[in-house]
Structure 1
Amino acid sequence: MTSSTGRSLVELIDGTDGRGLAAAGLACLDRCLPLLAPDRAEVLRPVWAAIARADAAAWAEAVGKARVELDGAGGEAAGDGGVVTMVRAMADGMPAEWAEGPLRAWAERCSTVALTVHRLYDVGEEGPLHSGELRRQLAVLDAVAHGPTGLRRARELSVEGGRVLRAVVSRRARTA
């Protein structure tokens, strides 16, 4: 699957600047956050604000606060197939340093983990949940390519994706 510009997910990540990388990684984490901390939906809002400002000090502070607020979240999840552990690793891996190298590595890991998580909850290898996550990742990268104005769209896509994943997990729990 490719973006509206005809580029693959890997190509888009490779060509993205620091702000776009931070947004891409955070969007993946934001969509998967309900699995780790379903009652803490707004914990990443200050991190989004720091991305909008592209301010290294604000980013480091917001990341530090988010880590503290998420500390211990998801500890009660046993038998989840390691999903909570994967999402926890995305949160713990948020780089405090606002630099393209660490942000790129984190965004790539978050992309892979988010696609894996969605595949685990899907009906098949390339089912609708996985395909939807891939589309959202492409759309986020397309949106943030337009600068700070695309961050609102990236956040909207993350909220939507989080709702979808939360609904799938809830439905699965009811039928188990």
Structure 2
Amino acid sequence: MSLVELIAQADERGLAASGLACLDRCVPVLGGDDDDVLRPLWASLAEGGDWAGPLAEARSALGTGGEPAGRAPGGTSQEAVTLTRRMLDAAPAGHSGAEIREWADGCSVAALQVHRLLDTAPTGATRSVAARREGRTDGTTSLSSPLVAAELRRQVRILELLSDKGTGPVGGLRQALDVSMEGRRVLRAVVSRRARGRG
């Protein structure tokens, strides 16, 4: 099943977790070093608690990532920073309702674009990202960027975990968080390598 189809079939909790996971993996481009900055939002999904309060705290904590306003942290691009900040700013006040589906879908696209910007993707890769989300893999839409391909696999895996009734809602969230943490470590390492290369 394609990523687009998985998002279309996901319930509200799955959509919120999918969007949150995309944001969580991209936190390193904001200069965020605190792996727990979004943990209260994960807890809110698991426990059904307040979402708006932890969301406001996350926005405040991430701020400008310790960098001067309008400047991207070393090792990233301004476009990647903008895409990640939009994910955070666009998060709805609650993790239910129609807005959460639009947010999750937007986060999916944005996260893939962030990974494309940090990798050596060929010209035209944006079109390929859209094709892969829809499950099209013909020769004209091949995606050779390993960083983007890995992010796509993580997004699919997380939605599959969240839709698996056998794991239960909390178990699925825990496994989704584990997958997302792995992706965050990968992206942080990429940002760090790029920063060293510019030093």
Give the TM-score normalised by the residue count of structure 1: 0.88
Deviates more, 1:151-160 or 1:76-85: 76-85
* 2:10 paired residue number: 16
- Amino acid of the residue matched to residue 3 of structure 2? L
* 1:4 paired residue number: none
- Amino acid of the residue matched to residue 154 of structure 2? R
What does 1:1-176 align with in structure 2 at a 5 Å threshold?
A: 7-55=1-49, 58-73=50-65, 75-76=67-68, 77-78=71-72, 80-124=77-121, 125=125, 126=143, 127-146=145-164, 147-176=169-198
Q: Which runs of 5+ in 1 are unaligned?
A: 1-6
User: Which structure has the larger Rg?
Assistant: 2
Task: Tell me by how many angstroms 1:90 deviates.
Answer: 0.7
- Say if 1:74 and 1:84, in contact at 8 Å, map to a contact too: no
Q: Which runs of 5+ in 2 are unaligned?
A: 126-142
Task: Tell me by how many angstroms 1:98 deviates.
Answer: 2.8
- Say if 2:32 and 2:65, in contact at 8 Å, map to a contact too: no
Query: Quick one: distance in 2 between partners of 1:142 and 1:97?
Result: 23
Task: Tell me by how many angstroms 1:148 deviates.
Answer: 2.3
Query: Quick one: distance in 2 between partners of 1:12 and 1:100?
Result: 18
Task: Tell me by how many angstroms 1:70 deviates.
Answer: 2.2
What is the total number of aligned residue pairs between the two structures?
A: 168
- Say if 1:31 and 1:161, in contact at 8 Å, map to a contact too: yes
Q: Percent identity?
A: 49
Query: Quick one: distance in 2 between partners of 1:141 and 1:169?
Result: 26
Task: Tell me by how many angstroms 1:171 deviates.
Answer: 1.3
Query: Quick one: distance in 1 between partners of 2:89 and 2:78?
Result: 19
